[in-house]
A and B are shown apart, each in its own frame.
Chain A
């Protein structure tokens, strides 16, 4: 930090003084990020007659369809982020370790596409592959395994878990790769030269260093899964009750509630759940930063 101060004293002119260079960023985020959040929160606290009230939150807190939607949403995000973080970490390791140059660049862009494909195409792709008439389904059937023999359908909870894993795993790869890449070779060399085996290195050095990043990434995946909208919307058409889907139907006016601002309260409820998850992420980030700086 001392070095930094010395620098700023040398160059007192130029765009490097005070808060000014950061102003565009602050204005942008205040207007397009903070203001909408404040606005939706305020409106969620108003009733049909524009009076202040907490009534919009009541349907979420007592058992019923809205409460149930939160339970299902949270369960879905938990399951998919566990699957995604474990498998994604494995992929990230293999990629960092063995993929080189152009190949790595291509894998990066494929991960980016898949990770951000929590969208409509994904849903249709899975229908084509795993739907009743899907290619994978019919192939497996001809091999003697009817995946539709049990309760499975692509439109069920299990189906949504499969589809979500499709973007959770690559997202983990993207998020976790830098952490693995940040493991310095010197650490492994140092530990080996002190007589540690590869296993000991991982147990005593590698995993403890990566663990905060891993937990952080897990929470990130959780929040992502919890907020995902497009895939579930296109895939389930409401067969799996998820909070974002219900908000969507309220906004589109497909479902009319006698409480005009119920959707706002659901939106704020989602913010609350996601905030709890992200508090875990931020906590883990701090731990990671401590490692990096020390």
Chain B
């Protein structure tokens, strides 16, 4: 009963605070971005500028492409690794723990400078080099997301059941484990995608052009336009991730009920 008395005060404090810190700046920026010519009235002029600006589609496409590739590569690398680790890789656990935390320890600026020194020429000449570093930057989050959800399922029992029914390892991973840890996989994918699409540090220090670095350059011509871009990317990212979240929750419910 006690919970009921606390529930609404807590929710209202949290929501009003969230409103002040997160909604107000976003709303303020959105209002600003709808200002017309010379700061007067409301119009779509900044968004029109944005869409017609040189390089808008090109850089947006580049960022989306790199983010998708990073998300896919991340899962291909990490799902088998994490499953194996939780099943029988225990003796490597602390080493892998460490390697996955390392990208948080190493400041991205330092990693970028290291990349400049260490990467072979052919990689440095291709924008796809960013995909690898996006995966590295996302590693700590992917690891957490996958590890947490792997620990909530009875992995060994699932594997044992599947294998004793004659399923191959690949089939076991794809048909049994992946659905069971769908929440973790979606989380990992989210984070990688969100990190990659907004990544600025490595991209700019390695002198590549993606959507975020293009924004900074574009801002120098038109600050209202740059604010429009910011609102666009925030709202776009939230909408996109929410859709994915809602979509994947639907599929994951079956598994959650089973637990």
Binding site for B on A (CB under 8 A): 1, 3-4, 7-8, 11, 14-16, 19, 21-22, 24-26, 28-29, 32-40, 43, 87, 90-91, 93-95, 97-98, 101-102, 105-106, 108-110, 112-114, 116-117, 119-122, 124-130, 133-136, 165-166, 169-170, 175, 178, 198, 220, 223-224, 226-227, 229-230, 233-234, 243-244, 247-248, 251, 263-264, 267-268, 270-271, 274-275, 277-278, 281-282
B104 at the interface (CB under 8 A from A): yes
Contacts known (A16-B88, A94-B11); A11 close to B215, Cβ less than 8 A: no
Select one of B77, B104, B111, B237 contacting A278, CB under 8 A.
Answer: B104
How many contacts between A and B, using CB within 8 angstroms?
A: 281
* Distance in angstroms between the alpha carbons of A3 and B198 in the assembled complex: 44
Select one of B90, B107, B198 contacting A274, CB under 8 A.
Answer: B107
Q: In this complex, what residue of B is CB-closest to A3?
A: B156
* Distance in angstroms between the alpha carbons of A169 and B22 in the assembled complex: 10
Most chain A CB inside 10 Å of its own CB: which residue of B28, B163, B212: B28
Contacts known (A33-B136, A166-B21); A251 close to B113, Cβ less than 8 A: yes
Q: Which residues of B contact A25 (CB under 8 A)?
A: 77-78, 81, 96, 99
Are B216 and A234 touching (Cβ within 8 A)?
A: yes
User: How far apart are A73's CB and chain B's nearest CB, in angstroms?
Assistant: 10
* Distance in angstroms between the alpha carbons of A130 and B118 in the assembled complex: 41
Are B105 and A271 touching (Cβ within 8 A)?
A: yes
Q: List 27 A-B contacts (CB under 8 A).
A: A1-B90, A4-B156, A21-B80, A22-B81, A24-B80, A33-B106, A34-B102, A38-B118, A39-B118, A94-B10, A95-B14, A97-B7, A105-B245, A120-B213, A121-B231, A125-B230, A128-B31, A165-B21, A166-B25, A169-B21, A229-B108, A233-B200, A267-B107, A267-B109, A267-B110, A274-B104, A274-B107
Contacts known (A114-B22, A125-B231, A178-B148); A109 close to B136, Cβ less than 8 A: no
Select one of B26, B219, B226, B245 contacting A108, CB under 8 A.
Answer: B245
Q: Which residues of B contact A247 (CB under 8 A)?
A: 109-110, 113
Q: Which residues of B contact A29 (CB under 8 A)?
A: 99, 102, 136, 139
Are B231 and A274 touching (Cβ within 8 A)?
A: no
B150 at the interface (CB under 8 A from A): no
* Distance in angstroms between the alpha carbons of A120 and B148 in the assembled complex: 31
Are A127 and B104 touching (Cβ within 8 A)?
A: no
Are A121 and B242 touching (Cβ within 8 A)?
A: no
Are B169 and A251 touching (Cβ within 8 A)?
A: no
User: How far apart are A133's CB and chain B's nearest CB, in angstroms?
Assistant: 8
Are B215 and A120 touching (Cβ within 8 A)?
A: yes
Number of interface residues of B (CB under 8 A): 96
Q: In this complex, what residue of A is CB-closest to B111?
A: A36
* Distance in angstroms between the alpha carbons of A38 and B119 in the assembled complex: 12
Q: In this complex, what residue of B is CB-closest to A219?
A: B104
Are B104 and A224 touching (Cβ within 8 A)?
A: yes
Q: Which residues of B contact A178 (CB under 8 A)?
A: 144, 148
Contacts known (A7-B156, A21-B81, A121-B215); A109 close to B245, Cβ less than 8 A: yes
Are B11 and A39 touching (Cβ within 8 A)?
A: no
Q: Which residues of B contact A117 (CB under 8 A)?
A: 198, 234, 237
Q: Which residues of A contact B78 (CB under 8 A)?
A: 25
Are A87 and B17 touching (Cβ within 8 A)?
A: yes
Select one of A7, A109, A120, A170 contacting B200, CB under 8 A.
Answer: A120
Q: In this complex, what residue of A is CB-closest to B240?
A: A109
Are B10 and A97 touching (Cβ within 8 A)?
A: yes
Q: Which residues of B contact A127 (CB under 8 A)?
A: 223, 227
* Distance in angstroms between the alpha carbons of A191 and B10 in the assembled complex: 23
Select one of A125, A243, A268 contacting B29, CB under 8 A.
Answer: A125
Binding site for A on B (CB under 8 A): 2-3, 7, 10-11, 14, 17-18, 21-22, 24-29, 31-33, 39, 77-78, 80-81, 84-85, 87-90, 92, 96, 99, 101-119, 132-133, 135-136, 139, 144, 148, 156, 160, 163, 168-169, 187, 190-191, 194-195, 198-201, 204-205, 212-213, 215-216, 219, 223, 226-227, 229-231, 233-234, 237-238, 241-242, 244-246, 249
Most chain A CB inside 10 Å of its own CB: which residue of B21, B90, B109, B118: B109
Q: Which residues of B contact A14 (CB under 8 A)?
A: 168-169
Q: Which residues of A contact B148 (CB under 8 A)?
A: 178
Are B227 and A128 touching (Cβ within 8 A)?
A: yes
User: How far apart are A17's CB and chain B's nearest CB, in angstroms?
Assistant: 9
Q: Which residues of A contact B10 (CB under 8 A)?
A: 93-94, 97-98
Q: Which residues of A contact B237 (CB under 8 A)?
A: 113, 117
Are B201 and A230 touching (Cβ within 8 A)?
A: yes
Are B216 and A267 touching (Cβ within 8 A)?
A: no
